[in-house]
Amino acid sequence: MQAEIITIGDEILIGQIVDSNSAFISKELNKIGVSVYQITSIQDDSDHILDALATAGKRSSVVIITGGLGPTKDDVTKHTLCQFFDDKLVQDDAVLEHIEELFKKYISTPISDLNRKQALVPSKATVLHNANGTAPGLWMKKGDTAYVSLPGVPFEMKYLIQDQVLPKIISEYDRPHIFHRTIMTYGMGESAIADKIENWEDNLPSFVKLAYLPNLGRVRLRLTAKGADKQSLVDAVETEIKKLYKLIGDIIYGEEEEGTIENQVGKLLVQKNMSLATAESFTGGKIAEQITAIPGASTYFKGSIVSYATEAKIELLEVPENLITEHSVVSEEVAKAMAKNVKCKLDTDFSIATTGNAGPTKGDSNADVGTVYIAISTPKRTFAQKFTMGNSRERIVQRSVNKAFELLLKEILNF
Amino acid sequence: MQAEIITIGDEILIGQIVDSNSAFISKELNKIGVSVYQITSIQDDSDHILDALATAGKRSSVVIITGGLGPTKDDVTKHTLCQFFDDKLVQDDAVLEHIEELFKKYISTPISDLNRKQALVPSKATVLHNANGTAPGLWMKKGDTAYVSLPGVPFEMKYLIQDQVLPKIISEYDRPHIFHRTIMTYGMGESAIADKIENWEDNLPSFVKLAYLPNLGRVRLRLTAKGADKQSLVDAVETEIKKLYKLIGDIIYGEEEEGTIENQVGKLLVQKNMSLATAESFTGGKIAEQITAIPGASTYFKGSIVSYATEAKIELLEVPENLITEHSVVSEEVAKAMAKNVKCKLDTDFSIATTGNAGPTKGDSNADVGTVYIAISTPKRTFAQKFTMGNSRERIVQRSVNKAFELLLKEILNF
């Protein structure tokens, strides 16, 4: 049982948007045991769409198509589907009623002929109700392959996948189980890890696959098991992971399925009924933003002082001016003072502080681009560490945010 | 002259990562006049890779392959390339020397056989030097098609594209010009815009294409022109855009090529020598983070007070407690007080403040999920507006951040 995804629209092919729709759909399909064999992004062009539909249908039982179902003229998908299925467009009254209702409720402009045209669907299609928008999803069959066409707007596509497409696949297809666990490591390169676990890797059961996923100073190790019996997959992966902890337990900081490291920080803080604040300079609020992206963060996160300018460190965080003059604004001492002061001001148990230079120029501090200090304050102590994070602004910030959460997690585990 | 991109690796097909590499490569290729015909994501599987290489080569002059060139065992790309080109791996001494040098400089673990194996390349390949990593890029020809294989680590791939691949394509291929401009609108739906500009759209020159790109309450209109003479493309698009401004100028807030709205805010503040601060509640630092992601933001951005908890609004922002009791923490009055106080504390010309409920529960305020207030304070006035942003946490935050920048931009334009 395998699926394919076809995304239609020039915006991906000219690099205007990143194809996050396919990542979402793939993840959801994997959860119900459907492997994705290929993702194909193509232009809004009839011949190309026809070719992609035919090719995908030869290989896969379900082909999910996103994009090209909007009301405007650059959308050719629906007409091409008619051509592919030798069908014609007919008006669906339920869809028309839904469109009229949405306009009455939410949209100030009057309903137009273009909007009404969205109620035209191929006569052979099963219509999938789109509660979040005016373009319906379409489910069509050719031979043994189901073709599912969805609008490209992420908010509408996500609803249709979760509420309409997945239940239909579950009810109509037998699927094997797929089970992933992903171990997150830090501080060791891909090849050094590979050397250490070579023997273990060579002896993995045949239905368990290992993948190395390196990024931004961390390597994730993903184990994937596939088979008919879910429990035996879970058990086999568990056994292998136990062996892995014996080999490289010192560089493992968690598992991706437990959530990101900031998720783990959050869970622990809730458990321990403890709280957190941040004082950010060059990370510019990104640590706070990643914390607050988690639903429920208000239970443990009080706030952040983003003291981007040196004067903000003095005014808002009350870092003593002479400390800055003496040690420079990018220094262990200033990082520690920021962490201590924000913890005190917001009366929290833990705090993170960052100060550094993310470039492109040397700025207030005269510190080299890439030099950063990360400070952690706990109920017991305050410390700061220096890091050199390379020379790309985006990387310096993201690696520092990652590192800050790592340092904090280790401390929280001790309480 | 067209290209294709093939990304290899299960992580995209299981939805573990979003394929941002392809978006980057597409954008860069477009800049030099190379259209991308298709992007294909496939598994680390020899047969599937062989099939994708052959199919892409039939259609396109350049096929760029990313992923599957790391040191570890899950990488099959290099061996599959040998099979496809009927070639064998040989050691490249320059690559080996480079790997040894990188290890000496940056990596604490000793060099291993796995690392040394990265110096093995197909004998027919032209090696592309990878200054940022140990896996070299490979350029191989079959018939008229060039196959370019690059490592999947974004930092290494980006360097290879910009410093090695693009110059080689420019020197070896004749290319047409491709020219894009993207108009950003707000406050009107896709179909209402389409109705208004129907006549204009029908009369576009044949070499100019229009696309509608709706997302998060905004519709972007992209004009693409393609042809041999760059200046005539630029002129034709300019003429059409002037007409477009006459039709819908009231809902246009800028052009994507000028940068995002926060980029435009930044440019204007630098020009006017004015400054900005933010006070964020439910947006959790995301406004500050988007501002500081721009190099040079320190010229105009002083900092942010992320007052996530109600007590932080009182402690850090000195919002009067009785104001909160009287009007609720999610109110026009509190939003305005936050904006005024942060502007005063950080002594800036402008400020943004947000307070609202992004869910999932009602929280401190008892305000409905999706209810938000955005306040702007300028040298002349402070005002707040109420919005209802739906019920998805991520969307509520991102739409509010977008809206805040829109409101601020309009104000800055008046100074």
pLDDT in tens, A50-66: 999 999 999 999 999 99
Q: Do A302 and B286 touch (CB under 8 A)?
A: no
Is some CB atom of chain B closer than 8 A to the CB atom of A287?
Answer: yes
pLDDT at A129: 95
Report the C-alpha gap between B233 and B237 in whole angstroms. 6
User: Maximum Cα–Cα distance for chain B, whole Å?
Assistant: 79
| Closest alpha carbon within chain A to B29 | A14
What count of residues does chain A have?
415
Q: Are strands B35-42 and B2-8 parallel, antiparallel or unpaired?
A: parallel
All residues of chain B having their beta carbon less than 8 Å from the beta carbon of residue A285 are: 280, 284-289, 292, 304, 306
All residues of chain A having their beta carbon less than 8 Å from the beta carbon of residue B288 are: 284-285, 288-289, 306, 308
pLDDT at A216: 64
- Domains, chain A: 2-172 (3.40.980.10), 177-258 (3.30.70.2860), 261-413 (3.90.950.20)
Q: Do A11 and B213 touch (CB under 8 A)?
A: yes
Q: Do B12 and A25 touch (CB under 8 A)?
A: no
Report the C-alpha gap between A285 and B306 in whole angstroms. 8
All residues of chain A having their beta carbon less than 8 Å from the beta carbon of residue B302 are: 308-309, 311-312
Is some CB atom of chain A closer than 8 A to the CB atom of B132?
Answer: no
Q: Do B211 and A394 touch (CB under 8 A)?
A: no
* pLDDT exceeds cutoff 80 at A365: no
The pLDDT confidence band at residue A414, using thresholds 50, 70 and 90, is confident
Q: Do B16 and A222 touch (CB under 8 A)?
A: yes
- Selecting from A38, A212, A307 the residue whose C-beta is nearest the C-beta of B70 gives A212
Mean per-residue pLDDT, A169-175: 92
Report the C-alpha gap between A411 and B269 in whole angstroms. 41
pLDDT at B216: 64
The pLDDT confidence band at residue B73, using thresholds 50, 70 and 90, is low
pLDDT at B326: 95
The pLDDT confidence band at residue B362, using thresholds 50, 70 and 90, is confident
pTM of the predicted model, to two decimals?
0.75
* pLDDT exceeds cutoff 90 at A257: no
Side by side, which strands form the sheet with A382-388? A382-388, A371-377, A350-356, A276-280, A301-307, B301-307, B276-280, B350-356, B371-377, B382-388
pLDDT at A290: 96
What count of residues does chain B have?
415
Which amino acid is located at B313 in the chain?
Answer: K
Structure tokens at B295: 């190099």
User: Given its phi and psi angles, is residue B273 left (phi above 0), alpha (psi -120 to 50 degrees) or beta?
Assistant: left
The pLDDT confidence band at residue B13, using thresholds 50, 70 and 90, is very high
Q: How far is B106 from chain A (nearest CA, A)?
A: 11
Q: List b or e across B23-51, with b for residues whose CB sees 16 or more CB atoms inside 10 angstroms.
A: bbbbbbbbeebbbbbbbbbbbbeeebbee
Cα A353 to Cα A309, A383, B206, distances in angstroms: 14, 10, 56
User: Given its phi and psi angles, is residue A40 left (phi above 0), alpha (psi -120 to 50 degrees) or beta?
Assistant: beta
* pLDDT exceeds cutoff 80 at B120: yes
Q: Are strands B177-186 and B208-215 parallel, antiparallel or unpaired?
A: unpaired
Q: Do A211 and B11 touch (CB under 8 A)?
A: yes
Three-state SS for B267? helix
Is some CB atom of chain A closer than 8 A to the CB atom of B270?
Answer: no
Report the C-alpha gap between A305 and B389 in whole angstroms. 26
Residues of chain B above pLDDT 90, percent: 68
Vertex B228, ends B226 and B232: CA angle to 5°?
A: 75
pLDDT at B192: 87
Residue A235: partners with Cβ closer than 8 Å, 6 or more residues away? none
Q: Which 8-state DSSP code applies to residue B19?
A: B
Angle between helices B46-59 and B77-85 (to 10 degrees): 50
Q: What is the pLDDT of residues B126-150, one digit of tens each?
A: 999 999 888 999 999 999 999 999 9
Q: How far is B138 from chain A (nearest CA, A)?
A: 20
- Selecting from A23, A191, A284 the residue whose C-beta is nearest the C-beta of B289 gives A284
* pLDDT exceeds cutoff 70 at A409: yes
Q: Do A201 and B73 touch (CB under 8 A)?
A: yes
Q: What is the pLDDT of residues B101-116, one digit of tens each?
A: 888 877 767 888 888 8
Q: How far is A326 from chain B (nearest CA, A)?
A: 22
Per the listing, tokens 């009791």 go with: B325
* pLDDT exceeds cutoff 90 at A394: no
pLDDT at A217: 65
Residues of chain A above pLDDT 70, percent: 98
Residue A291: partners with Cβ closer than 8 Å, 6 or more residues away? A262, A265, A266, A276, A278, A297, A301, B284
* pLDDT exceeds cutoff 90 at B395: no
* pLDDT exceeds cutoff 70 at A103: yes
pLDDT at B168: 96
Q: Which 8-state DSSP code applies to residue B217?
A: T
Q: Per the omega criterion (within 30 degrees of 0), is the bond before A122 cis?
A: no
Q: Are strands B2-8 and B62-66 parallel, antiparallel or unpaired?
A: parallel
Is some CB atom of chain B closer than 8 A to the CB atom of A315?
Answer: yes
Within chain A, how many helices (H) and strands (E) appear?
16, 17
| Closest alpha carbon within chain B to A398 | B293
pLDDT at B158: 94
pLDDT at A265: 93
Report the C-alpha gap between B375 and B339 in whole angstroms. 6
Is some CB atom of chain B closer than 8 A to the CB atom of A303?
Answer: yes
pLDDT at A392: 82
Per the listing, tokens 């990652």 go with: A402
Average pLDDT along chain A: 91
- Selecting from A22, A346, A359 the residue whose C-beta is nearest the C-beta of B312 gives A346
Report the C-alpha gap between A193 and A181 in whole angstroms. 17
Residue/partner pairs of B87-92 with CB below 8 Å, 24 or more apart: B87/B122, B87/B123, B87/B124, B87/B125, B88/B122, B88/B123, B89/B120, B89/B121, B89/B122, B89/B123, B90/B120, B90/B121, B90/B122, B90/B123, B91/B119, B91/B120, B91/B121, B92/B119, B92/B120, B92/B121, B92/B127, B92/B136
Q: What is the pLDDT of residues A268-309, one digit of tens each?
A: 999 999 999 999 999 999 999 999 999 999 999 999 999 999
**What number of C-beta contacts closer than 8 Å exist between A and B?**
326
* pLDDT exceeds cutoff 70 at A175: yes
Q: What is the pLDDT of residues B332-348, one digit of tens each?
A: 999 999 999 999 999 99
Q: Are strands A145-150 and A62-66 parallel, antiparallel or unpaired?
A: parallel
Q: What is the pLDDT of residues B240-283, one digit of tens each?
A: 999 999 999 888 878 887 777 899 899 999 999 999 999 999 99
Report the C-alpha gap between A237 and A255 in whole angstroms. 13
Average pLDDT along chain B: 91
All residues of chain B having their beta carbon less than 8 Å from the beta carbon of residue A23 are: 12, 15-19
* pLDDT exceeds cutoff 80 at A218: no
The pLDDT confidence band at residue A240, using thresholds 50, 70 and 90, is very high
In this structure, the number of other CB atoms found within 10 A of the CB of residue B58 comes to 8
Q: With CA atoms as reference, report the closest residue to A113 among A164, A170, A73, A57.
A: A73
Q: How far is A50 from chain B (nearest CA, A)?
A: 14
Structure tokens at A67: 């994009």
Report the C-alpha gap between A321 and A337 in whole angstroms. 11
Residue/partner pairs of B122-126 with CB below 8 Å, 24 or more apart: B122/B78, B122/B81, B122/B82, B122/B85, B122/B87, B122/B88, B122/B89, B122/B90, B123/B87, B123/B88, B123/B89, B123/B90, B124/B85, B124/B87, B125/B81, B125/B87
Lowest mean pLDDT among A78-87, A391-400, A403-412, B226-235: A391-400
User: Maximum Cα–Cα distance for chain A, whole Å?
Assistant: 79
Residues 38-77 of B with CB under 8 A from A: 38-44, 48, 70-74
* pLDDT exceeds cutoff 70 at B74: no
All residues of chain B having their beta carbon less than 8 Å from the beta carbon of residue A155 are: 392, 395
| Residue A189 CA from chain centroid, whole number | 23
CB B148 within 8 A of CB B137: yes
